[in-house]
Amino acid sequence: MIEGLLNSFIAMAGMPLLLIFIGTFIGIIFGAIPGLSGGMLVALSLPLTFGWSPINAIALLVGQYVGSISGGLISATLLNIPGTASSIMTTMDATPMARKGNAARALTIGIWASFGGGMVSWLALVSISPVLSSWALKFGPWEFFSLVLVSLMLIASLGGDSLVKGLIAAVLGMLAGSVGWDSITGQERLDFGFERMQSGFDMLAVLVGVFAVGQLFYEILYPKTIDTHDLNPAGKVSMRMKEFIKHWAGLLRSSVIGTIVGILPGVGGSIGSIVAYTTEKSLSKTPEKYGTGYEGGIVASESANNATVGGALIPLITMGIPGSIVDVILIAALTLHNLTPGPLLFENEPDIVYGFMNSMLLGNIIMLVIMLLGIRYFAKIIAVPKTYLTPILLLVCVVGTYAVNNSMFDVWVMFGFGLLALVFRLVGLPAAPFVIGLVLTPIAEENLRLAVILSEGDYWTFLTRPISATFLFVALLVAFKPIIGPIISRKLNKQS
Amino acid sequence: MQNSIRSELILSGALIIIGVLLFIEAEKAPVSWFPGDIGVTAVPKLMITALIVFSIVLIVENIVKLRQQTSTSEREDIEQKDKPQTLKLLLAAAYLFGYIVILDLGIVPYYLSSFLFSFLFIQLLSQWQPKQMAISAGISLVSVVVIILVFDKLFVVVLP
C-alpha cells in the first residue's frame, strides 16, 4: 500500500500536479465568490475531462473540491457571507476579528486550520480506506442494498430541516434515476413514450442543471449585494506558530469530527463545521469568547469543513457511496471513464485510489501556498460582478452538457432540472438527497433484485445476514428519529 | 409562515398527481421475463407509493401547522426575505429557453447565438443601462471567443 502510494505520488509529477494546481486555484476562486460552489465548478469541469486519462481528471476535480471548500473562508471573513455553505460557522468569529482590523490574521488562522483539517482527514483516508475496502469485499447484494438504504435515510434526515422533505427529495431523485432502460432486463419504463427518454437522463446533465443552472437562477431571483468597501484584508499575513499551536487540541478534535461527519453520506461540510464549532464551544473554559472574534472558533469551523473532504472520499472509494454532493459528481467522473467506484476499485484499479489520495494531499499543500500568498488578490476577485459571470457560466453549462453525448436533449434535461432545482430551493426541498438518490438508484435496485433472485424470493435473508440486518436496523432508527429523539431527550432532561 | 405552508400544500398536491401519473406509466411497462425477478417496475412502484405517502404526511404536517399558527407568526412572515426579482428571473429563463431552442433548431451559427444570448443576458442583469451596452458587447464577444477556443480548439469538443 505505502509503496503503491509513493509510486503514484512520484507519477503525479508533471501534468497531474499542474492540473491539481489549476483545479485548486480555480476552486478557491469559486469557493470565495458567494453563490458559486464547488459542486457547480466540478460539474462544469467534468465534460472537459472526457478525453483525459482518469488520473488527470481526478487530479483536476479533487483539486477543485479542496480549493472550493477552502475558498469559502475568504468571503466568510471579509463579507460575513460564507462563500460556501461549509464556511457558515467561520463567519461567527472570522468576521468580528476582521471588523476589529485583523482580517489578515483571521484569514491566516483559517488557512492553517483548513490545511490542518485536510491533513488529518487525509491520514484517515489513507489508513481507513484499505481496511474498509477489504471488509466491503465480503458484502453481498443484501448488504449493499441495506447500505444504500441506510445512506439514503441518513441523507434525508441529516441533510435538511425536515425528514419528510428529505425523503421526498430522495424518492424523486430515485424516480428520476429509474427512467429509461432497466439495467437488468433492458426493458423500457417510465419514458412516457418519448424515444429520447429511453436511455434515461444523462447524469451530468442533471448535475449541471441542479448545481449550476438552478443555483444561478436562484441568484437572479434573490441577488446578493456585496459591499466592496469591506474587501480589505489589512494587516500582516503572518502569524506566530506559538499562537496557532495553542489550538492544536481543538484543531485535532474538530478535524476528527469533520472526518466522521464527512463519512456520513450526503451530510457535508456545513454540518461538520456546525458540530465541531458547538462541540469546541461547549468544551471551552471560555465559551463566551466564541462569536466575538475568537481564534478557536475559526480553527474549529475551518478544520472541520476541510476535514469533511477526506472523510467523504472514504465511502466513495471503498463502497461507491457518495459522502458529499461533490462526490456524486466524482462518481459520475469515474463512470465517464468506465470505472466503477466500490470495493473492487482497490483491487482492480489501485492507481485510481492512490490518485484520489495523492490529489487530496497535494491539493491541500497547494491550497496552503496559494491562499497564503494570494490573500490580497483573492479578496479582489470576490468583487467581480455577477452580471458578467452568470451568462458566461450559463454558456459553459450549455456547451459542457452538450459535449458529453453531442445531444441537445441533454441540454433540455439540464434546463428542466435547473428549473426543478430552483423550485426545490423555493419550497425548501434539499438538493443533496435528490442527486444522491439519483446516483444510488441503480446500485440499490440491482442489488435488491439480485438478492431476491439469489435467495429465491426469500426477503427474510436481509434480516438473517448480520451486517445487512445491522444496516436495516440503523435505517429504521434514523426513520424513527423524529419520534425516538424527543423521548430520549425528555428522559435525559428528567434525569439531569 | 403562511406562504411556506401554502407552497408546501401546493407541492404535496402536485407530487400526488405526479405520483399517480407515474404509477399509470409504470403499469404500461412489460412484465419481466427473468426467472425469480421481482420485475422491472417493482422498485419504481414502491418509490411512487412512498412519494404519495410522504406527500400525504407533508399535507398533514402543514394542516397541523396551520391550526397552531398564531397572529405573531404572521407578523414574522412580513419581514422574511429580500424582494424577489421574479420578472428578471422569468426573462432570464426565457432567454435561456430561447437560446436552447435556437441551438436545437440550428438556424443561427453557434457563435452568433451565444454572443446575442450573453449580450442580452448582461443587459438584463444590468437593468438595460445604455452606458453598459459597449461593455456588455465587449464581454460577450470575449467570452464567446474564449469558449470556442477552449472547448473547440483546446479540448476538441464538438460545439452545438
pLDDT in tens, A38-57: 888 898 888 888 788 899 99
Domain that holds residue B52: 2-78
ipTM for the predicted complex: 0.89
- Taking 3-state DSSP, the helix, strand and coil percentages for chain A, each rounded to the nearest 5, stand at 80, 0, 20
- Cell readout for A22 is 489549476
Asked if A174 lies within 8 A of B47 by C-beta distance, the reply is yes
User: Which pLDDT value is given to residue A183?
Assistant: 74
* Torsion angle (degrees, nearest 10) of CA A356, A357, A360, A365: -140
Closest chain A residue to B35, measured at CA: A453
Chain A hits for B15, CB-CB cut-off 8 Å, are 168, 172
- Cell readout for A169 is 427529495
pLDDT at A244 over 50: yes
pLDDT at A255 over 50: yes
Domain that holds residue A309: 2-495
Closest chain A residue to B139, measured at CA: A388
The beta-carbon neighbor of A168 closest among B22, B58, B99 is B58
User: Which pLDDT value is given to residue B78?
Assistant: 45
Which candidate, B62, B158, B154, places its Cα nearest to that of B106? Answer: B158
Which candidate, A206, A150, A15, places its Cα nearest to that of A478? Answer: A150
Distance CA A370, CA A298 (A): 19
Which candidate, A342, A283, A275, A304, places its Cα nearest to that of A138? Answer: A342
Segment A455-459 mean pLDDT: 85
Chain A hits for B16, CB-CB cut-off 8 Å, are none
Mutation pick from B4, B9, B10, B11 vs chain A, by most beta carbons of A within 10 Å, is B11
Whether residue B61 is found in the same domain as residue B97: no
Which candidate, A59, A62, A87, A58, places its Cα nearest to that of A72? Answer: A87
Does residue A26 contact residue A41 with C-beta atoms inside 8 Å?
yes
Which candidate, B21, B18, B104, B13, places its Cα nearest to that of B62? Answer: B13
Chain A hits for B30, CB-CB cut-off 8 Å, are 187-188
pLDDT at A238 over 60: no
Q: How many residues does chain B have?
A: 160
User: Which pLDDT value is given to residue B94?
Assistant: 96
Chain B hits for A50, CB-CB cut-off 8 Å, are 157
Segment A84-88 mean pLDDT: 75
User: Is A188's Cβ below 8 Å from some Cβ in B?
Assistant: yes
In this predicted model, what pLDDT tens digit does every residue of A168-225 receive, in sequence order?
Answer: 998 999 999 888 888 777 788 888 888 888 888 988 889 889 888 998 999 899 887 6
Whether residue B111 is found in the same domain as residue B52: no
Distance CA A166, CA A158 (A): 8
In this predicted model, what pLDDT tens digit does every residue of B143-156 receive, in sequence order?
Answer: 999 989 888 877 77
- Decide which of A17 and A274 is more confident: A17
pLDDT at A62 over 70: yes
In this predicted model, what pLDDT tens digit does every residue of A429-451 receive, in sequence order?
Answer: 888 888 888 888 888 888 888 88
- Cell readout for A235 is 494587516
Residue type, A119: M
Chain A hits for B114, CB-CB cut-off 8 Å, are 395
How many distinct structural domains can be found in chain B? 2
User: Which pLDDT value is given to residue A233?
Assistant: 59
Chain A hits for B137, CB-CB cut-off 8 Å, are none
Measured between alpha carbons, how far is residue A452 from residues A184, A185, A202, A419 in Å? Answer: 13, 15, 28, 38
Chain A closest-CA separation from residue B90 CA (Å): 9
Residue type, A209: G
Whether residue B12 is found in the same domain as residue B72: yes
Residue type, B148: I
A94 falls in which pLDDT band (50, 70, 90)?
confident
Which candidate, A346, A349, A315, places its Cα nearest to that of A331? Answer: A315
Query: Which range is most confident: A329-343, A377-391, A462-476?
Result: A462-476
Percent of chain A whose predicted confidence (pLDDT) is above 70: 93
Mean pLDDT for chain A overall: 85
Of B78, B97, B115, which residue is a domain's last?
B78
Closest chain A residue to B16, measured at CA: A168
Whether residue B40 is found in the same domain as residue B99: no
Of B78, B96, B113, which residue is a domain's last?
B78
Residue B160 domain-assigned? no
The beta-carbon neighbor of A412 closest among B42, B100, B117 is B100
Asked if B140 lies within 8 A of A51 by C-beta distance, the reply is no
Asked if A415 lies within 8 A of B97 by C-beta distance, the reply is yes
Asked if B44 lies within 8 A of A175 by C-beta distance, the reply is yes
Asked if A391 lies within 8 A of B47 by C-beta distance, the reply is no
Distance CA B120, CA A390 (A): 12
How many distinct structural domains can be found in chain A? 1
The beta-carbon neighbor of A402 closest among B43, B122, B160 is B160
Chain A closest-CA separation from residue B71 CA (Å): 22
Segment A450-455 mean pLDDT: 87
- Cell readout for A279 is 462541540
Give the DSSP per-residue string, chain B.
Answer: -HHHHHHHHHHHHHHHHHHHHHHHHHHHSPPP-STT---SSHHHHHHHHHHHHHHHHHHHHHHHHHHH--HHHHHHHHTSSPPP-HHHHHHHHHHHHHHHHHHHHT-S-HHHHHHHHHHHHHHHHTTT-GGGHHHHHHHHHHHHHHHIIIIIIIS-PPP-
Closest chain A residue to B95, measured at CA: A391
* Secondary structure E strands in A222-295: none
Whether residue B95 is found in the same domain as residue B137: yes
Whether residue B11 is found in the same domain as residue B74: yes
Runs of H (alpha helix) within A382-407? 386-405
The beta-carbon neighbor of A427 closest among B11, B35, B92 is B11
Whether residue B63 is found in the same domain as residue B90: no
The beta-carbon neighbor of A223 closest among B4, B44, B85 is B85
- Which residues between 56 and 95 in chain B have a beta carbon less than 8 angstroms from any beta carbon of chain A? 57-58, 61, 81-82, 84-86, 88-89, 92-93
Distance CA A212, CA A216 (A): 6
User: Is A407's Cβ below 8 Å from some Cβ in B?
Assistant: no
Closest chain A residue to B10, measured at CA: A427
A338 falls in which pLDDT band (50, 70, 90)?
confident
Of B47, B78, B109, which residue is a domain's last?
B78
Asked if B158 lies within 8 A of A406 by C-beta distance, the reply is yes
Distance CA A445, CA A394 (A): 34
3-class DSSP state of A181: coil
Residue B159 domain-assigned? no
Residue B104 domain-assigned? yes
Distance CA A21, CA A51 (A): 20
Segment A125-140 mean pLDDT: 88
3-class DSSP state of A281: helix
User: Which pLDDT value is given to residue B33?
Assistant: 64
Which residues lie below 8 Å from residue A367, measured CB to CB, with a gap of 6+? A24, A27, A28, A66, A67, A70, A111, A114, A115, A118
Chain A hits for B55, CB-CB cut-off 8 Å, are 168
- DSSP secondary-structure letter at A225? P
- Which residues between 108 and 127 in chain A have a beta carbon less than 8 angstroms from any beta carbon of chain B? none
The beta-carbon neighbor of A388 closest among B38, B58, B139 is B139
Whether residue B6 is found in the same domain as residue B58: yes
Chain A closest-CA separation from residue B104 CA (Å): 6
User: Is B121's Cβ below 8 Å from some Cβ in A?
Assistant: yes
Segment A387-406 mean pLDDT: 88
User: Is B55's Cβ below 8 Å from some Cβ in A?
Assistant: yes
Query: Which range is most confident: A85-94, A242-251, A280-289?
Result: A280-289
Chain B hits for A391, CB-CB cut-off 8 Å, are 117-118, 121-122, 125, 140, 143
Whether residue B39 is found in the same domain as residue B92: no
User: Which pLDDT value is given to residue B79?
Assistant: 45
Segment A456-468 mean pLDDT: 89
Question: What residues in chain B have per-residue pLDDT under 70?
Answer: 1, 32-36, 70-82
Whether residue B149 is found in the same domain as residue B95: yes
Whether residue B27 is found in the same domain as residue B63: yes
Distance CA A200, CA A334 (A): 19
Residue B95 domain-assigned? yes
Instruction: Give Cα A54 distance to the centre of its chain.
Output: 20
- Decide which of A344 and A358 is more confident: A358
User: Is B20's Cβ below 8 Å from some Cβ in A?
Assistant: no
User: Which pLDDT value is given to residue B75?
Assistant: 47
Measured between alpha carbons, how far is residue A453 from residues A133, A183, A450, A461, B37 in Å? Answer: 25, 15, 5, 11, 6
Which residues lie below 8 Å from residue A186, measured CB to CB, with a gap of 6+? none
Asked if B11 lies within 8 A of A449 by C-beta distance, the reply is no
Whether residue B71 is found in the same domain as residue B92: no
- Cell readout for A27 is 476552486
